[in-house]
Amino acid sequence: MSDYMLEIHQIDASYGPIQALRNVSMNVSEGEIVTLIGANGAGKSTLLMTIFGSPRASKGYIKYQGRDITNIAMHEVGRLGIAQVPEGRRIFPAMTVEENLIMGTLPIGDEHMEEDREKMFVMFPRLKERRNQRAGTLSGGEQQMLAIGRALMSRPKLLLLDEPSLGLAPLIVKQILNSLRDIAAQGTTIFLVEQNANHALRLADRGYVLVNGEIRLSGTGEELLVNPEVRAAYLGGH
């Protein structure tokens, strides 16, 4: 059972009296790209944040590499090799682009900092042009690239992304999804939360569909892409 890199087992989570997740079980194996799709308010972001303990799961457990992480502190999760590109990107606006990247190295120290920073600049040349600029002045797409770059600076084994395509121009979305493919090819396991089901399912090995806090469907990317229910609800019905 504990061959999974990330195993979420029958968890519930709530914000005060409002229950956001009900009996959710899912897993991610090493080397996979797994996606979770669902409408606004389905609980996608909650599920990602529950891995970091905010909100905490009130039932069930979350295991990472066989270790129960359900109740450990948020910053300790961040040091286990799990990096997150959170909803809304959450870059540090008053820091420079370069400082934001350095912030990502905390879990592993700055031993590989310069090497990895150059890698990020190769992957996202726009960041190199703006390396000394305050991150708050970047465009949405550039901020997204920075958030991904920052997450990768910790050389994560598991990368969690929360709607990296949200609010971005189609061309930028394509560019970001392509970088995700490269990142996966280099051995990082990816768990991608998306509303943009079409893109996400094409990229992913497997997918889950979250409806009102419950897992409604799961399957391979191709299976879900042709599933009539998914097509009707998330792919505009064509």
Residues near other proteins, by CB under 8 A: 52, 54, 73-79, 83-84, 86, 88, 90, 92-95, 99, 102-104, 106-107, 110, 136-137, 150, 154
Q: Which is nearer to other proteins, 76 or 118 (CB)?
A: 76
Question: What angle do the packed helices 140-152 and 113-123 form, to 10 degrees?
Answer: 150
Query: Could you tell me the smallest distance in angstroms from the CB atom of residue 216 to other proteins?
Result: 28
Residue number, 172 or 201, with CB nearest to other proteins: 172
CB burial of 173-206 (b: ≥16 within 10 Å; e: otherwise) equals: bebbbebbeebbeeebbbbbbbbbbebbbebbbb
Task: Name the minimum Å distance from CB 74 to other proteins.
Answer: 4
Beta carbon nearer to other proteins, 91 or 201: 91
- 152 vs 209, which CB is nearer to other proteins? 152
- Least Cβ distance, residue 49 to other proteins (angstroms): 9
- How many helices (H) and strands (E) the chain has is answered by 10, 10
> What's the one-letter identity of residue 176?
I
Q: Which of 6, 26, 84, 16 is nearest to 210 (CA)?
A: 26
Compute the least distance from the CB of residue 149 to other proteins, in Å: 13
